[in-house]
Chains A and B, each alone.
Chain A
Amino acid sequence: MNGGNSRKRKAPPQQPSPEPPKHLATTEEDDFDEDFYLQDDLMDEDSQILRDIDERSAKLARLSKWARPELSQSYKSQSQSIVFQQLEIDYVIGECHKEFLSNRSGSAAIIRIFGVTREGHSVCCNVHGFEPYFYISCPSGMGPDDISHFHQILEARMREANRNTKVPQFVRRIQLVQKRSIMYYQQQSSHPFLKIVVALPSMVATCRGILDRGIQIDGLGTKSFMTYESNVLFALRFMIDCNIVGGNWIEVPVGKYRATGKNLSSCQLEFDCLYSDLISHDPEGEFSKMAPFRILSFDIECAGRKGLFPEPTHDPVIQVANLVTVQGEDKPLVQNVMTLKSCAPIVGVDVMSFDSEKEVLLAWRDLIREVDPDIIIGYNICNFDLPYLIQRATALGIAEFPILGRIRSSRVRVKDTTFSSRQYGIRESKEVAIEGRLQFDLLQAMQRDYKLSSYSLNSVSAHFLGEQKEDVHHSIISDLQNGNAETRRRLAVYCLKDAYLPQRLMDKLMFIYNYVEMARVTGVPISFLLSRGQSIKVLSQLLRKSKQKNLVIPNAKHAGSEQGTYEGATVLEARAGFYEKPIATLDFASLYPSIMMAYNLCYCTLVTPEDIRKLNIPPECVNKTPSGETFVKPELQKGILPEILEELITARKRAKADLKEAKDPLVKAVLDGRQLALKISANSVYGFTGASVGQLPCLEISSSVTSYGRQMIEHTKKLVEDKFTVVGGYEHNAEIIYGDTDSVMVQFGASTVEKAMKLGREAADFISGTFTKPIKLEFEKVYFPYLLISKKRYAGLYWTNPDKYDKMDTKGIETVRRDNCLLVKNLVNECLHKILIDRDVPGAVQFVKNTISDLLMNRLDLSLLVITKGLTKTGENYEVKAAHVELAERMRKRDAATAPNVGDRVPYVIVKAAKGAKAYEKSEDPIYVLENNIPIDPQYYLENQITKPILRIFEPILKNASRELLHGSHTRSISISTPSNSGIMKFAKKQLTCIGCKAVISGSNKTLCSHCKGREAELYCKTVANVSDFETLFGKLWTQCQECQGSLHQDVLCTSRDCPIFYRRKKAQKDMGEAKLQLDRWSF
């Protein structure tokens, strides 16, 4: 690598004015377009840098291996249509294309579509001619003259609001169109609307603001307007109007495109075309496949200072590991690691070592440019790795580093965003926009799609891949870096693993397929799926459907009447108990979507009571919902939501049918991802109508849905209990023991699973018949035995065929809660196993008693008692004193280097402390506890950890559960270890005691007292057997970790607090030393 030719450059030129309007939040309720300008003037100043890059890449022969396949002749001569799968759509502001749009001039929005062709060529398609617009309802009596007058007023107001923008005309044109609002049932098929076309996408929001606040019109006075579809992002607007869905294939026919004269992007194929010439292909057949995207998975390591989290202003980036794969191929294309200072070779990995940090960063930039990845993945890259690299480059003054996007001249910037959603909560994050490359942060995906006890890469990989990784504490990283080539190799292996695991997770969980399919089903760009909430997906579908139906969607914070909250789903009272007869479960198949379809619930079918009177709708044409709303029947007006749902459900059926017939595993993956996406989409429609801060909330719909749901559960309960009775000719009276949102649990009284299944099916068919189609009650499973604790908490064996149970199913029981110690989890699991599978209640009771006894006798492994909590902020910021925060403070006083930082997980155990000590004062570092023999507080564990979950399980089973389990002889024998460094022990004199009987011995005897002399052989065997057991354990645990870290000649450094071996091996090490000392006393 040539580091000498990069002269100091002056700071990057300022952003060309005008500054785009600043908007802080991109929350769900507000979507804004932010205009970015093509940075033409940057080109010349940057050409020097670009030439630099060219020189550099020429010197690096390996870069050529990374390049994309060569373009064929027909592409070069533009004699071939370009068909590509698009991944990213954004827009920039640039000059109107002279050739395509001869009649226009000035700035205009140019849509850029990035994608990949079937051959693996990267594509940047500049689409011209598409203009931002929105609607307002046309005030009655407005003629063509009035419209042009209105246009002038609006234009003047716009000019006032955007003084800096140099655009010849702000409001391009205003057209009168015939449309209808989606809200409320209307008899007329259309009303006049005004379509306002503006020059730039960001002006939609400005213009909306002006119209919202009101505008002075001659003859009409000040009037404010309700705007329609003014909150649709420009890129999405374009996709909807051109019928493009996320991740589909687009064709630009030959002759309809022109290669750009001056290539602004680094894509192989860059061309201009007109938006009306695009052909969007439905994801069917050949076009359902995936293009060979290049996926880069990477991870960086930084050398932090002791006790501090790495900061880009101080701490260098020392390693970057990369793994590039091509979608659909097994072997990685590139696997390398870039290190600062030398690094010993690693099998199968291209190790690139550099002398300066600048070269490391630039080498990575070159990799990005040459490999040209379409998707960049990693673990927590969006909030850590990418911002860090960019900020570090700024700190080092490397101006040429952040050219990572596909646009040659544009530098990547970091900005802070807040994302808030009802489902996912508020998350603060950093956003690094890399133009033309899709970012996919596995951490975000995990947090969205899975509920896990810990989201560390280690525990996520352990959960999904069954693979642990070495967890190097960040205080050690600098030491490894400052060591020799071998220690840096060690770090590189660790870093590579961090780059490799996200790719494995991605493959294993089929994220590519599932997300692309979700984008195709809902029609939003793939990047929206991670960066936005649920409602944009429904909104996209709604907009597409409305467009077909000539409807427009109001931009309203509240559609329909405003009301606060509404009643949610019903839960029938749970009759807690342990059921030893089969319990049949009757489920409504996708209840909420079916209700919406069955009763035609939609924005456009909702009628207000006045309208019923006014429009004179006969009562037989409306449905009155249990919550008191009225919706017209489909004969008068078919709802849009029911139609969308129907399509989703039919599409899912088709996808499932195709899935059965598909042979090709890649096709299968696509279809499976699709059916899943369809299912999720169908279920999120209801949530969209109920989201009070959403895009178009309509509580009339959502409260009607839940009220129907409640009614149906009650109805089912009544029917089952009326029909299945002894009087009705059945063997037993059926009983509903529990019902939740969309399912009811029935005890038919039958004694075998088979009989219960037969009755279950009969009941499901019978009851389904009484509902409006397509609401359907399905019989799915039998629980036998079934332990019902309370509502939303139960456990049982799950049967779908009468011969063998499928699995043990638990809900709401402490098996995964993360602030419980492992002991509770193991105990609960084991008890449930004994009760449900072995049907051995006394065995379970005995097990609980033994465990409690072990706890009190201090015989438990410490790792079982460790509780972990995340440290989210520093001590002062917590209002209430918490155990883990206090401990972190205390550890910082002991040794600032290894103390947990904000963001780390703090493991602790509760130890015995002075009487009256607060709970938070009793926390202690498990390692410290091990080293100093500090006694744990068994009472705390018994009362605060074990008691509740255990009683919950046993109360339905045993009469005096508490007395039976928590009191009794097994709780009376307690053993507490003596701390080795407490105050009193410093004054104690140590004396040898007889190994046999603990009598104090003195004089020449060092091992046994005179009474025990005769038992020498026995006692020796005992000691030696003890040593031998510890040796076995020590050997197994330490060699396991030695193997796991992948290097035999270096010490195990891993401090993974999530790994159960960690504490055990620490403990084994200590026990071993003690046992050995005992044994040494025998050497006489």
Chain B
Amino acid sequence: MEVDGEQILQRKHSHYHNLDEVFMVRNEVYKGQQYSQIYFARLHMLRTLLYSLVPHWKPHIPGVVVAFLGKESGAGSFLVHDILEAGLPPQIEKPLKLGDDKYVVFVSGLSVGNSTSNPLQFQLLVDHITGHLGDENEQRTAAEIVHVVIAGNSVEFARGLFNGQNLGSKDQAKLSEPFRELDILLTQIAAGVPLDIMPGPNDPANFYLPQQPLNRCLFPGSSAYNTFRSCTNPHSFELDNIRFLGTSGQNIDDLDKYSEAKDKLDFLERTLRWRHLAPSAPNTLGCYPFTDRDPFVIESCPRVYFVGNQDMFGSRLVKGPEGQLTQLITIPKFCETGVAVVLNLRNLECHALSFGTQFSF
């Protein structure tokens, strides 16, 4: 809530429902399980699904479950005639509340502590979100921001400092400085807007997908607010009944190793059609050796599917044969581009929000 002069702008709210449970690793411990189980679970889940699709018959990455139509030709050879992939998952129809504009801000790759990150840029973003920037018009828009999602790589810390020895006080300071800086800025956001923070490949979190929430002890200030939520990566939630699903980018970056497709949005669409978030896990993408399930299977189609830490902003609306509609978004690295992404919940349109600190007259 911001107070500006006599006029009081009331920040809008929306209903939030966290769906991260599926990505939590809780009671699972390493008792000698291997990766075969997750492969098996994936095959099992997607096979049942494909069987149901075979009556409606209609490029490849290891780990993607597809059905092959063909015939056995002689000694053990199998001649492939056609390939069936799963297609878009069904979408749970929840009508958009065509009310007023409500905005969600996505940002990724803040990289606080990196030499290229510009603190002023980040501060401008924070000020914009909290409504401390611009005229009344802009403040009005800012008041319509109902949610902020930080999709990974928020800090950069010197991993090289860990060499099995205890750190000297100088190094300790060097290490904790970025965290403190980030915490201060996040506190400012969390004070006004609900905030979801996801871990990314460079964050102090585990390496495997699903990455578990960043520990609250890293954010002593902001974690005091109940608007601050440390989430998993991948992250799934609902805002006003609109389903969101997103990752910090590892799954898409890893697919890049297998394909020459240029547009990252293609990868997003593919993973959605394969109904699997991370087909290359566990082969080249680290993943927890689940024993009974494969959490990366997309069971229902999200309305918004976002991926952080990409080179540039992009969005595309995908339509499925059964009327599924999904907005795909690639979120660029903020520290390199100064671009955040804004999504309007009313019509799922999105645009880039660019911050520059180069003053030119």
Query: In the complex the two chains form, is B172's CB within 8 Å of A1039's CB?
Result: no
- What are 14 sample pairs from A and B whose C-beta atoms fall under 8 A apart? A334-B75, A345-B78, A350-B74, A1018-B176, A1024-B206, A1025-B159, A1025-B162, A1025-B204, A1032-B286, A1035-B286, A1047-B36, A1048-B35, A1051-B36, A1082-B217
Given contacts A1018-B172, A1035-B208, contact A1050 B162 (CB under 8 A): no
Q: Contact residues of A with B, CB < 8 Å?
A: 62, 334-336, 345-351, 1015-1018, 1020-1022, 1024-1029, 1031-1032, 1035, 1038-1039, 1042-1043, 1047-1052, 1069-1070, 1072-1073, 1076-1077, 1079, 1082-1083
In the complex, given contacts A1051-B34, A1073-B30, what are 19 additional A-B residue pairs having Cβ atoms less than 8 angstroms apart? A334-B75, A346-B76, A348-B76, A1015-B172, A1016-B220, A1017-B175, A1017-B179, A1018-B172, A1024-B204, A1025-B162, A1025-B204, A1027-B206, A1031-B286, A1035-B207, A1038-B289, A1039-B283, A1042-B283, A1073-B29, A1077-B29
Min Cβ gap A776→B in Å is: 57
CA–CA, A1047 to B35, complex, Å? 11
Which partner residue on chain B sits nearest A1026 by CB separation?
A: B162
Cβ-defined contact, B32 with A1069, below 8 A: yes
| A1028 partner, pick from B35, B207, B215, beta carbons under 8 A | B207
Question: CB distance B204 to A336 under 8 Å?
Answer: no
Fill in one digit per residue for B186-221: 1 if any A CB lies within 8 Å of its CB, else 0: 000000000000000000111110000001011010
Task: List, in ascending order, chain B residues with CB within 8 A of A1042's CB.
Answer: 34-36, 39, 282-283
CA distance A1048 to B282 in the complex (A): 10
Check B162–A1022 contact: CB distance below 8 A. yes
Q: Which residues of B contact A1021 (CB under 8 A)?
A: 157, 162, 175, 204, 218
Chain A residues, Cβ within 8 Å of B72? 345
Q: Which of A350, A1029, A1050, A1077 contacts B76 (CB 8 A)?
A: A350
A residues less than 8 Å from B176 (CB atoms): 1017-1018
Partner of A347, one of B76, B208, B218, B220: B76
Residues of A within 8 A of B208 (CB): 1031, 1035
Given the known inter-chain contacts A1017-B217, A1049-B40, please indicate yes or no for A347 contacting B287, CB distance below 8 A. Answer: no
- CB nearest neighbor in A for B177: A1017
Q: Is the CB of B31 within 8 A of A1073?
A: yes
A334 to B74: give the CA distance in the assembly, Å: 12
Q: Known interface pairs A1035-B287, A1042-B34, A1076-B30. Does A335 touch B167 (Cβ–Cβ under 8 Å)? A: no
| Distance (whole angstroms) from the CB of A150 to the closest CB of chain B | 66
Contacts of B217 in A (CB 8 A): 1016-1017, 1020, 1082
Residues of B close to A1026: CB separation below 8 A: 162
| Given known A-B contacts A345-B72, A1028-B206, A1031-B207, A1020 and B215 have beta carbons under 8 A apart | yes
Residues of B within 8 A of A1032 (CB): 207, 286
User: Bound complex: CA of A234 vs CA of B299, how far in Å?
Assistant: 78
User: Could you tell me which residues of chain B, from 206 to 256, have a CB within 8 Å of some CB in chain A?
Assistant: 206-208, 215, 217-218, 220
Q: Which of A1029, A1043, A1076 contacts B29 (CB 8 A)?
A: A1076
Closest to B288 in A: A1031
List the 3 closest A-B pairs by CB distance, nearest first.
A1073-B30, A350-B75, A1028-B207
Let me know if B206 and A336 touch, CB within 8 A.
no
B205 contact from A351, A1024, A1035, A1052, Cβ within 8 A: A1024
Nearest neighbor of B205 in chain A, beta-carbon distance:
A1024
**Interface size in chain B (residues, C-beta < 8 A):** 39
Chain B 61-91, CB within 8 Å of chain A: the 1/0 string? Answer: 0000000000010111110000000000000
Instruction: Please state if A336 and B218 are interface contacts (CB–CB under 8 Å).
Output: no
Chain B residues within an 8 Å CB radius of A1024: 204-206, 215
Question: A1039, B35: Cβ atoms under 8 Å?
Answer: yes
B206 to chain A: which residues have CB within 8 Å?
1024, 1027-1028, 1031, 1079
- Using Cβ atoms and an 8 Å threshold, which residues of chain A touch B179? 1017
Are A1052 and B36 in contact, with the CB atoms below 8 A?
Answer: yes
User: What are the residues of chain B within 8 A of A346 when measuring CB–CB?
Assistant: 76
- The A interface is mostly helix, strand or loop, or mixed, namely helix
User: Does A1038 contact B35, Cβ atoms closer than 8 Å?
Assistant: yes
Closest A-chain residue to B180, C-beta based? Answer: A1017
Please give the distance in Å from B253's CB to the nearest CB on chain A: 15
A637 to B199, CA, bound (A): 92
- A residues in contact with B287, CB < 8 Å: 1035
Q: Which residue of chain A is the closest to B199 with respect to CB atoms? A: A1024
Looking at the complex, which one of A334, A335, A1039 makes contact with B282 (CB distance below 8 Å)? A1039
Known contacts A1020-B204, A1025-B162; decide if A1048 and B39 are in contact (CB<8 Å).
yes
Alpha-carbon distance between A1027 and B30 when the two chains are bound, in angstroms: 12
Is B43 in the interface zone, CB < 8 Å from A?
A: yes
When C-beta atoms are compared, the residue in chain A nearest to B155 turns out to be A1021
In the assembled complex, how far is the CB of residue A1033 from the closest CB belonging to chain B, in whole angstroms? Answer: 10
Within the complex, the shortest CB–CB distance from A1006 to chain B, in Å, comes to 13
Q: Closest approach, in angstroms, between the C-beta of B9 and any C-beta of chain A?
A: 36
| Nearest CB on B from A483, distance (A) | 14
**A350 contact set on B, CB distance < 8 A:** 74-76
Bound together, the chains give a CA A1024 to CA B208 distance in angstroms of 11
- Please measure, in the bound complex, the distance between the C-alpha atom of A1031 and the C-alpha atom of B207, giving whole angstroms: 6
A868 → chain B, closest Cβ, in Å?
Answer: 24
Q: With a CB–CB cut-off of 8 A, which chain B residues contact A334?
A: 75
CA separation between A1020 and B204, bound complex, in Å? Answer: 8
Q: How far is the CB of B42 from chain A (nearest CB, A)?
A: 9
Query: Smallest Cβ distance from A162 to chain B, in angstroms?
Result: 54
Complex Cα gap A551–B287 (Å): 79
Q: Hey, which chain B residues are within 8 Å of A1043, CB to CB? A: 283
B261-292, CB < 8 A from A = 282-284, 286-287, 289
Asked whether B175 lies within 8 Å of A1018 as measured between CB atoms, the reply is yes
With A1021-B157, A1035-B286 already in contact, the answer to whether A1048 and B36 are too (CB < 8 A) is yes
Given known contacts A1035-B287, A1039-B283, A1072 and B30 CB-to-CB distance under 8 angstroms: yes
Across the two chains, which residue of chain B brings its CB closest to A1031?
Answer: B207
**Bound CA–CA A62/B176 (angstroms):** 72
* Most chain B CB within a 10 A radius of its CB, from A1020, A1047, A1082: A1020
CB distance from A328 to the nearest CB of B (A): 21
A974: shortest Cβ distance to chain B, in Å?
Answer: 15
Q: How far is the CA of A1029 from the CA of B162 in the complex (A)?
A: 11
CB-based contact B34/A1038 at 8 Å: yes
Shortest Cβ distance from B176 into A: residue:
A1017
B31, B176, B217 — most chain A CB neighbours (10 Å): B217
Q: Which residues of B contact A1076 (CB under 8 A)?
A: 29-30
Which residues of the partner chain B approach A1028 to less than 8 Å between Cβ atoms?
205-207
| Beta-carbon nearest neighbor of A1077 in chain B | B29
Residues from chain A with a CB closer than 8 A to the CB of B32 are 1069
Contact A1020 B218 (CB under 8 A): yes
Q: How far is the CB of B168 from chain A (nearest CB, A)?
A: 11
A830 → B minimal CB distance (Å): 21
Q: Decide if A1017 touches B218 in the complex (CB within 8 Å).
A: yes
Q: Which of B39, B76, B77, B287 has the most CB of A within 10 A?
A: B76
| CA–CA, A335 and B77, complex, Å | 11
* Cα distance, A192 to B283, chains bound together (Å): 82
Tell me the minimal C-beta distance from B258 to chain A in angstroms: 14
Complex-state Cα separation, A1050 to B35, whole angstroms: 9
